[in-house]
Amino acid sequence: MSTLFDPVKLGTIELANRVIMAPMTRSRADEQDLPTDLHVDYYRQRATAGLIISEGAHPSKDGKGYCRTPGIYSPEQVVAWKKVTDAVHAEGGKIVCQIMHVGRVANPENKASDAETVAPSAIQARDKIFTNSGMLPMVMPRALTTEEVGTVIEEYRQATINAFAAGFDGVELHGTSGYLPAQFLSTGSNKRDDQYGGSLENRLRFVLEVLEAMCSVDGAAKVGLRICPGNPFNDLQDDDPQETFATLLDAIDPMGLAYLHIIRLPKGPVDNLALAAEHYHGELIVNDNYGCEEAQSVIVAQKASAVSFGRAYIANPNLVRRFQENIALADFNPGTLYTHGADGFSDYPNAD
Ligand SMILES: Cc1cc2nc3c(=O)[nH]c(=O)nc-3n(C[C@H](O)[C@H](O)[C@H](O)COP(=O)(O)O)c2cc1C
């Protein structure tokens, strides 16, 4: 019988335990979208997790949505991320890079002046986004041409090449929260009439081709996918998320990915954990609002291979030890989630 603290292998990635740090955008990158020495400290401090999934990193300038987020498209970013992965590896940890293209979830205020906001269709998300000038509306995106869709898929491939060059142990496709892959999957944001829109088969094509591109770099066993069927975040709307994601999972099941990272949504239209159990037979990471006890029970019951923790990792760098020794968790300061500097980022102490 395995427990939360036992090793597990996700594809070719060997984890010392099943406590995973969930991906979290923290807006600490510098002006060139580079991770800094603060990131080196922050991720090193959390390296006792069985696996760290990095904050979302954009595969192109167009893919950036939030302020001060790091990229994974330039040679300088590869060098800067290498310092992070080296630090995590020196502590015996593992880290994968989450690749995140926001599509229409954007305002130019947060992007380079020569970047564009692109999406499957020219349909504006009816929502606002955090910028240095406060909350601003998301702008009308330009619909990608069929040829440009191919270019974006190539950007994901190049980002994967870059992530491995930077020393990451794997890559994760961010497929939820209303960002570009989710925009292609969903009927409300995808009104295309080429092979990337219209029928369900066509709406799935972008995600499947991106995964194939990512897997082409160093095999499928280093590639994960994160989804949350039925998630309405960032004005996402799909007529039938149960059917969309059941069909997507049937399609990716034979690919041999390292893992599926599934976020449960108790009040959503789909029972996401049941959907994954029925349609996916590989390694599962489950997420959202787990505590140690519940996480332990899903591992013991073999309902998941590992559990990821987001908010608990903000103020508890050595969360594994807190869980093992039943030490109470520290609370994080919500006021410093997306601010500058070490304050509320890399200055939370370990439990003694
Ligand atoms: C500050 C913050 C930033 C986040 N950024 C990301 C992100 O970049 N990519 C992503 O997939 N999820 C992101 N999430 C969602 C978390 O990965 C996780 O799904 C969520 O916090 C629920 O897990 P928890 O209950 O353990 O906190 C973020 C969450 C928080 C709190």
Where along the chain do its domains lie? 56-306
Testing ligand 1's pocket by substitution, the residue of 19, 21, 24 carrying the most ligand atoms inside 8 A of its CB is 24
**Residue range 281-303: average pLDDT?**
98
pLDDT digits over 57-77, tens only? 999 999 999 999 999 999 999
Q: Computed from CA positions of residues 288, 293, 299, 303, in that sequence, does the dihedral angle turn out positive or negative?
A: negative
54 lines ligand 1 (CB under 6 A): no
The residue assigned the tokens 């390296």 is 47
* Residue closest by Cα to atom 2 of ligand 1: 24
pLDDT of the residue at 234: 98
Bridge partners (DSSP) of residue 306 are 285
Nearest CA to ligand 1 atom 16: 310
As a whole number, mean pLDDT of residues 16-36 equals 98
Q: Is 209 in the pocket of ligand 1 (CB under 6 A)?
A: no
Is the minimum distance from the CB of 277 to ligand 1 under 6 angstroms? no
> What pLDDT is attached to residue 26?
98
Ligand 1 binding pocket includes 315 (Cβ within 6 Å): no
Contact 263 CB / ligand 1 (< 6 Å): yes
Decide if pLDDT at 352 tops 80.
Answer: no
d(Cα 111, Cα 61) in Å, to the nearest integer?
Answer: 7
Q: Is 288 near ligand 1, meaning CB less than 6 Å away?
A: yes
* Residue nearest (by alpha carbon) to ligand 1 atom 19: 288
pLDDT on residue 132: 85
| Residue tagged active-site, from 66, 179, 280, 290 | 179
Tokens representing residue 186 in the block? 């969903």
Both tokens of residue 127? 């929502």
What pLDDT, on the 0 to 100 scale, is given for residue 30? 97
CA of residue 195 to ligand 1 center, whole Å: 32
Please tell me the predicted confidence (pLDDT) of residue 312. Answer: 98
- Taking every pair of Cα atoms in the chain, the longest distance, rounded to a whole number of angstroms, is 59
Mean pLDDT of 329-346: 97
Q: For 41-56, what is the mean pLDDT?
A: 98
The C-alpha atoms of residue 263 and residue 285 are separated, in whole angstroms, by 9
Q: Say if residue 226's pLDDT is above 90.
A: yes
CA distance 285 to 20: 8
Sequence length of the chain is 352
Task: Enter the CATH code of domain 56-306.
Answer: 3.20.20.70
Q: How far is the CA of 309 from the centre of ligand 1 (A)?
A: 8
The reported pTM is 0.98
The reply to whether ligand 1 has any atom less than 6 angstroms from the CB of 310 is yes
Q: Residue 197's pLDDT is what?
A: 98
| For residues 45-61, average pLDDT | 98
Ligand 1, atom 13, residue with closest C-alpha: 24
Tell me what pLDDT residue 38 has. 98
Residue in 20, 25, 171 to alter for ligand 1 test, most ligand atoms within 8 A of Cβ = 25
342 pLDDT band, cuts 50/70/90, is very high
pLDDT at 220: 98
pLDDT digits (tens, 9 = 90+) for 174-190: 999 999 999 999 999 99
Alpha-carbon distance of 332 to 317, in angstroms, equals 11
Is 179 marked active-site? yes
How far apart are the CA of 159 and the centre of ligand 1, in A? 21
Helix axes 272-279, 241-252, angle to 10 degrees: 30
Q: Identify which of 227, 309, 311 to mutate to test ligand 1's pocket (most ligand atoms within 8 A of the CB).
A: 311
209, 211, 307, 352 from 99: Cα distances, Å: 15, 11, 20, 34
**Can you tell me the mean pLDDT for 76-96?**
98
Q: Is the pLDDT of residue 208 over 90?
A: yes
Helix (H) or strand (E) holding 160: helix 146-165
Task: Let me know how many helices (H) and strands (E) the chain has, helices first.
Answer: 10, 14
Whose structure tokens read 């599962």? 284
For ligand 1, atom 21, which residue shows the shortest CA distance? 310
Question: Which residue, 299, 300, 271, is CA-closest to 285?
Answer: 299
Ligand 1 centroid to 259 CA: how many Å? 18
CA torsion angle 72 77 79 80 (round to 10): -110
Question: How far is Cα 304 from Cα 274, in angstroms, rounded to an integer?
Answer: 12
Count of other CB atoms within 10 angstroms of residue 255: 15
Query: What mean pLDDT, rounded, does the chain reach?
Result: 98
